[in-house]
Amino acid sequence: MKAIKITIIFLVHFLFGTVIYGQHIFSGTVTDASGRLLAGVEISVNNRIKPVFSDINGRFEVTHRKPCASLQFKRKGYTTSISQNICARDTILIQLFPLPAQELVEVAEDMIQMSPISSKESQSRRFLRTSRSQKMHPNTGIVPSYIMDPGVSLNTEDYSSIQENRFHRPADEPLSTFSIDVDAAAYSNMRRFLKNGQRPPVDAIRVEELVNYFSYDYPQPKDEDPFYIQSEVGICPWARDHQLLHIGIQGKQIPNDALPASNLVFLVDVSGSMLAPNKLPLLQSSLQLLTDQLRPQDKVALVVYAGAAGVVLEPTAGDEKIKIKDAIRSLKAGGSTAGGAGIALAYSLARQHFVTGGNNRVILATDGDFNVGESSDAAMERLIEKERESGVFLTVLGFGMGNYKDNKMQVLAGKGNGNHAYIDDLSEARKVLVNEFGGTLFTIAKDVKIQIEFNPSQVAGYRLIGYENRLLNKEDFNDDNVDAGELGSGHTVTAIYEIIPFGITSPLLAEVDALKYQTPNPNSKKSNDLATVKIRYKQPDGNVSKRLEEVVLAKADIKNSNAFFWSAAVASFGMILRDSPFKGTSSYDQIIAIARKAQGDDPEGYRAEFIRLVKNARDLFSTDDNRLVREDNN
């Protein structure tokens, strides 16, 4: 068969050039035409200096004594290499042509020992699976990605579709009901895209998870209830004639030494798709950080799954850290992904060693790419729903890029009475598993639901920002059989409503005919209430919910808190990334200005990093009318 010549475009953007001890430093990023970051591209200077290789994020750094130099870019599997005269701050476009198909196979076979594959296994997966024999490059510590077929797109990430909430008229629909969401995976995933110079897919942006990535200084609860509720009303920054209703929930902070004993099962995906450095190696480092937090009364087991599932470490006391870490370090990637079998085995082990009154939890670490056994969302959902009845909770830690299955992670965590985090680097692992150890692993309230009743005499329209995948029917609020979200020790949850005050005419409110048989509630006109906030929750081991209620007055607060403004800035950023029809006058500069004023205490630097991300997005994506130009992410 005649080989098809395919043009692959590499964009190398030099971020800066500087001089250190007489050497000029050239830094850049390598991507293909689809925006996929490319590792393993060989870069040398004047064909003499020892080459360096682009890392897993496509980045490289090379030095030379002169401000301009001839740089060579090479990648296995292509017919040519490219030489370019480069100076600091240059942006260049490079085209390489892949080898004909037969030559490409010969190159691959020269690099790795090919193994038989089934007819159902894709060529791209074969290259991933068989690459485990490839040694890491000493300069980068990574497995070069050039063993993959350059003509095959490996971007198979999956996200559940999100249809943004619209405005509702309280005269027609006075109740808004949803489950809380403490997950923050969408934020770290969004950060990964922006750091790589890419626009996140629209459905990867769950605005409430961006907002809930940050902790807020809400008061600690003072009575027997496990959380404190706070609300405030203020002017909407992106629509000045609208208001924002800000609802904050603060979970009770339990000191780590006072937390109940843990019965943990680490369930680790060691399939071939986990080979990349930002998958299994990062996963291992993350679990070692978690191991350091364990106490003598805690126990940990380690289960792995690839072509089959097995127990690597039987339940071991938390003070045997060397034994636990040795087991984690021993893990190797290879094979297909029997996710269903692994989950069943992990839950079985957790049930066998169940600690009454303790924290019983499976911690699943994976890229979500299940392909053997219970692989459909529906089948996995039924499996998890059945297992959660035992009282074993689930934490899902997502890793990697290119084939990351965010939608599957959401299903597993949601149905498993648990939470979902995306670990893009070791700093995020430290945040989730060290700084927020209690909130991530220890549930203080389950099936937490919120229902807001809006007063039509004060509110012309309302819109819940985010939580699209957490919406409930109004009848679900009082139904204790309906599953909802969990709240961890010390966790905060924030929800924001955009309010159109009564008397304001807005094109965002769809016109409907006047109701013929309904009459307004005469008592509502006498009330200064904006809304009533109701919350239901259960104890972690309980089956009957308790109801809390708070009234929000229509009068806006004279001075809003930093939490109000910070959450508004983050929500505004999320709407820009989604190119939301409701973003109003939101702009990057407006977000930066609000965030700077509301930054407050920032000991870990998370808020400062957010401001930097907004600046990066502004530089990458801004156009004259400040709108994002969407592109096909497939």
Q: Tens digits of per-residue pLDDT, 156-166?
A: 788 999 999 99
pLDDT of residue 132: 36
pLDDT of residue 437: 87
For the cut 50, the answer to whether the pLDDT of residue 141 exceeds it is no
Tell me the C-alpha distance between 42 and 151, whole Å. 19
For the cut 60, the answer to whether the pLDDT of residue 460 exceeds it is yes
Encode 544-583: b = buried (16+ Cβ within 10 Å), e = exposed: ebeeeeeebebebeeebbebbbbbbbbbbbbbbbbebebb
Tell me the C-alpha distance between 373 and 375, whole Å. 6
pLDDT digit string (tens) for 490-533?
Answer: 999 999 999 999 988 888 888 778 778 877 665 555 688 999 99
- Mean pLDDT score, 377-404: 84
Distances (CA, A) of 197 to 35, 40, 86, 88: 8, 18, 21, 19
Percent of the chain exceeding pLDDT 70 equals 75
For the cut 70, the answer to whether the pLDDT of residue 336 exceeds it is no
Domains of the chain are 8-147 (no CATH), 175-254+445-506+525-621 (2.60.40.1230), 260-441 (3.40.50.410)
For the cut 70, the answer to whether the pLDDT of residue 614 exceeds it is yes
Task: Please state, as a whole number, how many other Cβ atoms lie within 10 Å of the Cβ of residue 85.
Answer: 10
pLDDT band, residue 105 (cuts 50/70/90): very low
Q: What is the pTM of this model?
A: 0.75
More confident position, 98 or 305? 305
For the cut 80, the answer to whether the pLDDT of residue 378 exceeds it is no
pLDDT digit string (tens) for 228-265?
Answer: 999 999 999 999 999 999 999 999 999 988 899 999 99
Q: Which residues pair with 158 in a beta bridge?
A: 405
